[in-house]
Structure 1
Amino acid sequence: MDYAAFGDVLVFDTTYRTNQYKKPFVILAGVSNHFMIIIFGCALLLDETMKTYTWVLETLIEAVDGQRPISVVTNGDRAMRQLMLKKCKIVEFDNAWARMVKQYKLENNNWVLEIHRKRDKWAEAYLRGHMFAGMRSTQRIEGMNAYFNMFLEQKVRLYEFVAQYDRALARMRVNEPETESKTENSFPVLTTPLRSLEKHAAELFTRKIFSLFRREINKEGKLFVMERVELEDRGTYRFGEYKAPTSTWTVEYFRADITIKCCYLKFESFGIPCCHMVTVMKSEQLMCIPPSCVLKRWTRRARSGYEQPSLTQISGTLTQTARFGILSSCFSEMSYYASHADNDFEEAREMAFQMTLKMKKRWAMRTEYNIAVGDKNIAPKLCGVGDPNVVKTKGNPRGTSSMGKPPKPRRCGYCRSIEHTKRRCKKLASTSRREGSDSDIETFMNTELEPHMEDIDEPTNSQV
């Protein structure tokens, strides 16, 4: 369901390794409507070949009913990031690249030539207008690696790895209800002069996306209209920026369907209106953000409208695991709200108790029915990785002798009776009362040495 709402951008991080077997651990992630990293899945690979990576992506597409991402972000060379993120036009980038190559005499360097041929896959100037949702590199995913390090140590075994991975995801998902609650139950303070647009954005977007859009409203103050041309079907604006005379931006406003197109292409690549589009909204006296300038993935209702995927072709264990996770998330959110007041807490606890009893009775009835019809798949265990089956060992079972005879009964260490132990021996108690008697020495010798006498064999002639 997360992928259905936020699978337009897929981050494919291949740099992470953690387990005892030195196998690469690949994280498949995206970004949610709260601008937080969201994990779609992971893969523990055998190797790092093209064939293996192809299998991972094909398996993911099959799992999400064929929905392909718009963009895929993978890790690249760290030294190239500052050049690749330079925000400029294509001509400016090409000129800067030519100056760099000439300065360092790299005209015949094979690596530089190969990277330049692939510039349309990594350079900001060439990727403007392509949707990446702010995930232009795997840098944010590398922060996830540090998070997983708290749970996944390099010496962890495979069966421990799966359980620890589930723990890490569970803790990540606890943070989302808190962020969701902040968005739904609070309202930010309006601070910009464009109160109508700012208020509409606060009602429409999540809190994090609203803060990013408010930055664009604040940037609008640096812009001024250089030229305005009215055509038959649209109006064209050309803007300049304060203290940046060489920077000009062109925006087209189509009044028929209230559509705004900016040459900056921030809306096409990130999904929120840029400051140039905000200036047009102000000039056209718009009181709210046009629907054409709103991307659903950043709104509060980003997940609405997506049905739960069918689990009919998945095994019963995976189905129960999925249901367990969904219910845990739902009740976690309810618990957060109910914990703020005494009466809400008492009501929620009572309802949870009654519901637990009801579900437990139904589960017991299904279990009895399955036993009656001979269904063996009724193990009452929670989701996760269970313990392995206990196998028969090569040694003798505990409590039996090597010859299959029953063990010898315990005897009294003083009188050798099997009816009691030395602590409750009456003969020993009566003998101990004779103080100063020579029998004390005899009692001591009998008590301490007699239990061991049976282990001493009679000496043979050779031993003599």
Structure 2
Amino acid sequence: MGGKAPSAILTDQDQTKKAAIAEVFPNARHRFCLWHILRKIPQKLGEVLRKHGNFMGVFNNCIYNSWTVEDFEQKWQDMVEVFELDNDEWIKSLFEDRKFWVPTYMRDGFFAGMSTTQRSESINSFFDKYVNKKTTLKEFVEKYKVALQDREEAATHADFKTLHKEPTFKSPSPFEKQMSIINTHEIFRKFQLQVLGVSACYPIKEKEESMKNTFKVQDFEKKQDFVVVFDGRKCEVCCVCRLFEYSGFLCRHAMAVLQSSGVFRIPSHYILKRWTKDARNGYTSRHMSKEVDPKKQHFNNFF
């Protein structure tokens, strides 16, 4: 890749890969595929599942609804005690490797919203339509060219729809209107879900320090509270859920705070070029003035 090492690597859970990646790509952010870990539960914890019908609910709550490291570790410890898993070697290994697979530990690393290796697996599935185990090397080269051509045509068709077909609006939000012009249809649909969720959020200012305000945002849909910090001088907003840092677009909680603070446009540093309609053309969107890499944001200063 032109001598450039990957910034993020996603694999299945494997200690040999873990050691090799740490040695060869020491600066890459490595994570384990969450789906591969979850699919092992029936095999590794079959007896627990048979005895406790509520185990998966508790496990999922621990994994998906822990917004801080302290919160996760407390929930994990409670789960281990309740289901008597203190001596389970697999559970111990999961906790030791928690920084490689638990979403809470990954929210400051940009993975374009991916938590599984489904991207590479979908590529494998894509090529299954063109080649099989009986395909010769010569046939493979020709069919590979056809596969790439078909894929490029599909991408071009998607680009055409993005550029010439208006998305359907689901709210009067100025955020939705703004990003419909900038984002690709696929990303806009994901962002649109966050816009719709703003109506279920109620921000309460809890602390004010100069121009940096801390809010508690009550999310009535998720039935949880989220901490959001807003710096009015820089127009920077950071939510403890870290959706922007992880997926590259703002969450409902951050937008609720922006709205309550009198900001009705997504600041340009929260618009990533990779999600814009012009991304494949290699130039910055005409609808935005600049782009800031999520890794260059100073969010860690907030928490």
- TM-based fold match above 0.5: yes
Q: Please tell me whether residue 175 in structure 1 is matched to residue 154 in structure 2.
A: yes
TM-score normalised by L of structure 1: 0.49
1:151 has 2:130 as partner: yes
* Greater mean alpha carbon deviation, residues 201-210 or residues 138-147: 138-147
CA distance in 2, matches of 1:94, 1:289: 34
| C-alpha separation in 2, matches of 1:100 and 1:80 | 18
**Higher alpha-carbon deviation: 154-163 or 218-227:** 154-163
2:212 equivalent to 1:234 = yes
Secondary structure of 1:77's match?
Answer: helix
Looking at structure 2, the residues matched to 96 and 229 of structure 1 have their Cα atoms a distance apart, in angstroms, of 27
Of 229, 233, 237, the match for 1:252: 229
Q: Partner residue of 1:302?
A: 279
The residue type paired with residue 267 of structure 1 is: F
Letter in 2 for 1:240: Q
**Residue 93 (str. 1) matches residue 103 (str. 2):** no
Displacement after TM superposition at 1:121 (Å): 0.4
Q: Deviations over 1:251-273 (max 9, x none)?
A: 22222221112222111111100
* Partner of residue 164 from structure 1, selected from 131, 136, 143: 143
1:120-269 paired onto structure 2 within 5 Å = 120-194=99-173, 196-242=174-220, 247-269=224-246
Q: Could you tell me which runs of 5 or more consecutive residues in structure 2 were left unpaired when the two chains were aligned.
A: 42-55, 284-303
Matching residue's letter, 1:144: I
For residue 158 of structure 1, report the CA deviation from its aligned partner: 2.8
Structure 1: which amino acid aligns with 2:238?
K
Q: How far apart are the structure 2 equivalents of 1:272 and 1:288?
A: 13
Match of 1:426 in 2: none
What one-letter code is carried by the residue in structure 2 that aligns with 1:169? L
RMSD, aligned α-carbons = 3.4
1:95 offset after TM fit, Å? Answer: 3.5
**Structure 2: which amino acid aligns with 1:286?**
V
Kindly indicate whether the alpha-carbon contact (under 8 Å) linking 2:203 and 2:260 is maintained by their aligned counterparts in 1. Answer: no
Q: Which residue of 66, 73, 77 corresponds with 2:37?
A: 77
Shift of 1:107: 2.4
In structure 1, what is the Cα distance between the partners aligned to 2:159 and 2:9? Answer: 22
Task: Give the secondary-structure state (helix, strand or coil) at the position aligned to 1:151.
Answer: coil
Using a 3 Å threshold, how does the CA distance of structure 1 residues 105 and 69 change in structure 2: closer, same or farther?
same
Question: Which of 251, 260, 269 is the equivalent residue of 1:274?
Answer: 251
1:91 to 1:10, Cα distance in 2 relative to 1, 3 A:
closer
- Of the structure 1 ranges 74-83 and 292-301, higher mean CA displacement relative to structure 2 is found in 74-83
Q: Is residue 110–residue 248 contact of structure 2 (8 Å, CA) maintained in 1? A: yes
2:249 and 2:271 in contact (8 A); partners too: yes
| Structure with the bigger percentage of helix | 2
Structure 1 gaps, min length 5: 16-48, 62-67, 307-464
Q: Is the 8 A contact 2:32 2:100 kept in 1?
A: no
State the TM-score, normalized to the length of structure 2: 0.71
What is the deviation of 1:204?
A: 1.4
State the identity %. 25
**CA spacing shift, 1:11–1:121, aligned 2, 3 Å:** closer
CA gap 1:212/1:244 in 2 versus in 1, 3 angstroms:
closer
What's the secondary structure of 1:237's corresponding residue?
Answer: strand
Alpha-carbon distance in structure 1 between the residues aligned to 2:70 and 2:76: 10
Alpha-carbon distance in 2 for matches of 1:77, 1:154: 29
CA deviation string 1:343-381 (max 9, x = no partner): xxxxxxxxxxxxxxxxxxxxxxxxxxxxxxxxxxxxxxx
Identify the residue that residue 262 of structure 2 maps to in structure 1.
285
Looking at structure 2, the residues matched to 123 and 185 of structure 1 have their Cα atoms a distance apart, in angstroms, of 40
Higher relative contact order (CA 8 A, sep 6+): 2
C-alpha separation in 2, matches of 1:127 and 1:207: 26
State the Cα distance separating 1:104 from its structure 2 match. Answer: 4.9
TM-superposed CA distance for 1:69, in Å, is 8.5
Cα distance, 1:70 vs. partner? 5.4
In the alignment, is the contact (CA less than 8 A) between 2:31 and 2:101 conserved in 1?
no
Distance 1:117 1:297 in 2: 34
Q: CA deviation at 1:305?
A: 4.8
Larger Rg: 1
